[in-house]
Structure 1
């Protein structure tokens, strides 16, 4: 329903603002190396996520990309958004603006970073602004993602490196009993989990994490998943929730705090009725 409501709405201001606040918090609470790794995830994922839109006669010139990148590192926080809006008003297609420019800019910034042509502060600022654009345009990007959503299929992923899997397996069983089809990712690495969401449209993604020391790993995973699955709700579970503001810092939409109420909570988050109600309504 959200996609239908947003069919003609190019910018989600709420998601844009949330992404902005998330990056501000990360820079305050994470060490510089962790922030750098999060920024690299944005650049890497965007640079190779949409390469097909970075070429051809409809794409931007190198000069266009350089100008766009200059807005991403400008002191004026509104320059990048204004650049994108001006292109749209001039008649450029959404694909050309939102996909070709973003992918090409990420590749350009990545190359500059590798050659030490831009500072850590500049690339962090640019990464945050690119991520804001992606989040603000999530309904536009979602129309090019995998189709044929199964409204009862979810991804339940244990954070890479986390060996506490029993509760996750119990949760998967509870969700299945409640009528969900569960793709359980246990013992998988970062790229494998992101690849699952890149090829399958899930009704929700649940990530289980238990140690606050894994906040960087968790944040990188959520950001990678956000780029490939822009509208799926991301739900955080596990003992990591004992730490304050974790869900907000990593960018999760909601929390599951109890195994006993996990199934009901997931239904509330997704707006899905209980299994019996769904079956009854289809007869």
Structure 2
């Protein structure tokens, strides 16, 4: 065993995993348009090992390095954490990490995203723009949805995130609040029927007024998700969803990381 430059222990397979981290970062950079050198793959690797540990002090020990590298909270949420999530998913898929480790890691990432996003409350929303994000019952990880919510809030949009909420409650929410758009995240084919029921409930409760988008990892395998669910659009690009709702954000560079979705997809696979 040896230590990385960030003080995180690396097992014998560490060199292989570090290479994997670099591959993950390269793909993330290609998808997001960021320069590769802006995302440090060694730090991604160190973060993955730290968040998956039962000892929370390991991540705390990385905070000084994160500050010295001048990595902003936005960079963490939009770039580093999705890369870490993808790396954890690869670890599990290749039997390099157990379910418990990966679950701990995803839960800790979700907690970190929540802590960072407390100040992104959408209070500066122009014309009161409001979006409802729905994660259907049974989806095991909400990390991608939380990242999306944070991205929207930073743009001044008020976001209401509902995870595993009953249809009756969703109907009441839509009847009592004036949402401009709803986004329903579907992770796999087995959730398409539930997604259809959610879309139907949202449409009925709003009298057909609410623009509903369906997205998520299922779009990688199903080409007619909009038709199957009754949604107005099927897309993993929030900009497209919001443009359809006429919120004037078609030019926004909002793209839910396909790498984050890939990690969530593997983790929720039956």
Q: TM-score scaled by structure 2?
A: 0.42
Q: TM-score, normalised by structure 1?
A: 0.40
